[in-house]
Amino acid sequence: MRRYARSLTGKQREGDQLVEDLLNQLLEDKLDLSHTASSRPAFYKALGDLVDVQIEASDILPEYLRLANTTDRRALLLTSVENFSDEEVAEALDIETDSVQDRVRNATEELLSSLATTAMVIEDEPFIAYDLATTLRGLGHTVPATANTHAQAVALAKMHKPSLILADLRLADESSGLEAVEEIQEFCNAQVVFITAYPEQLLTGDKPEPAFLIPKPFKTKTVTAVVCQALLMHQMAR
């Protein structure tokens, strides 16, 4: 839920706060979960309702969040990132089950049409790096380089100035992908999506952490959904 909340808000702190607020409501017996057949969609629906409340208060969240949180885009995130079935998405979003896949397609097409950019992959496994680069190119992005160490990543970022970075946590020479990204962001305003087998290391909530996170092993549709949402947030926040 924290991963989903961070994707909806584009921010670590705001996303984590939404989940904390939801849990507090549950502990205080203020959360009504009776309107869905199963608990998982019920919690995600309640989280979405909290987001809607905050979006309506324009002095709390920025205007771009209104545009980034359509029902179609939430359907895309729930199916591709949270692995919800169509029935679960319909429950969580209070829509017809038959409309879910149409909404997912609409969101994907809408996002892909306006988000093409220059991207870089920081990954120590050659086959995974190739797969990610191929996926990004298939989405219309230019991928001039991939890197497998901290030093190589920084050097290539200085050369190509990417707007999007897909990064692993652990790199080929035991260096840190997180540290590489932090150094790159000192001179390059890039949106970052971490793809890692150790997602728990980026969900502690006790230090600055990425808003967009994909656990390994991943599916192409998950990369597509998260990259689109991440770039949308980045573009609108400028």
User: In this structure, are residues 1 and 43 in contact, taking their beta carbons and an 8 Å threshold?
Assistant: yes
Would you state the pLDDT for residue 228?
A: 86
User: In this structure, are residues 122 and 177 in contact, taking their beta carbons and an 8 Å threshold?
Assistant: yes
Query: Residue 66 pLDDT > 90, yes or no?
Result: no
Task: Name 17's Cβ contacts closer than 8 Å, sequence gap at least 6.
Answer: none
pLDDT tens-place string over residues 176-198: 999 999 999 999 999 999 998 88
Position with higher pLDDT, 171 vs 201? 171
Would you state the pLDDT for residue 152?
A: 96
Boundary-marking domain end, from 111, 140, 164: 111
Residue at token pair 């001179």: 187
Q: How confident is the model at residue 59 (pLDDT cuts 50, 70, 90)?
A: low
Would you state the pLDDT for residue 131?
A: 96
Mark whether 102 and 217 lie in a shared domain.
Answer: no
Mark whether 135 and 91 lie in a shared domain.
Answer: no
Burial class (CB in 10 A: 0-12, 13-18, 19+), 35: exposed
Mark whether 128 and 233 lie in a shared domain.
Answer: yes
Mark whether 225 and 167 lie in a shared domain.
Answer: yes
Q: What count of Cα atoms within 13 Å lies in the side-chain half-sphere of residue 94?
A: 10
Mark whether 77 and 142 lie in a shared domain.
Answer: no
Mark whether 77 and 176 lie in a shared domain.
Answer: no
Q: What is the DSSP letter of 36?
A: S
* CATH number assigned to the domain comprising residue 106: 1.20.140.160
- Among 80-84, 144-148, 198-202, the range scoring the smallest mean pLDDT is 198-202
Query: Residue 14 pLDDT > 90, yes or no?
Result: no
Boundary-marking domain end, from 111, 132, 158: 111
Mark whether 122 and 101 lie in a shared domain.
Answer: no
Mark whether 58 and 154 lie in a shared domain.
Answer: no
Residues spanned by the domain of 33: 2-111
Would you state the pLDDT for residue 200?
A: 80
Boundary-marking domain end, from 88, 111, 134: 111
- Among 7-11, 62-66, 176-180, the range scoring the smallest mean pLDDT is 62-66
Mark whether 40 and 27 lie in a shared domain.
Answer: yes
- Rounded distance between C-alpha atoms, residue 168 and residue 161, angstroms: 18
Mark whether 170 and 194 lie in a shared domain.
Answer: yes
Closest CA to 188 of 168, 206, 163, 221: 163
Closest CA to 71 of 54, 51, 42, 43: 51
Q: Token digits for 90? A: 């319909």
pLDDT tens-place string over residues 145-174: 999 999 999 999 999 999 999 999 999 989
Domain count, the chain: 2
- Among 35-49, 135-149, 175-189, the range scoring the smallest mean pLDDT is 35-49
Query: Residue 236 pLDDT > 70, yes or no?
Result: no
Mark whether 119 and 107 lie in a shared domain.
Answer: no
pLDDT tens-place string over residues 117-127: 999 999 999 99
- Rounded distance between C-alpha atoms, residue 226 and residue 236, angstroms: 15
Query: Residue 49 pLDDT > 70, yes or no?
Result: yes
Mark whether 152 and 184 lie in a shared domain.
Answer: yes
Q: How far is CA 125 from the centre of its chain?
A: 22
User: In this structure, are residues 170 and 177 in contact, taking their beta carbons and an 8 Å threshold?
Assistant: yes
* CATH number assigned to the domain comprising residue 219: 3.40.50.2300
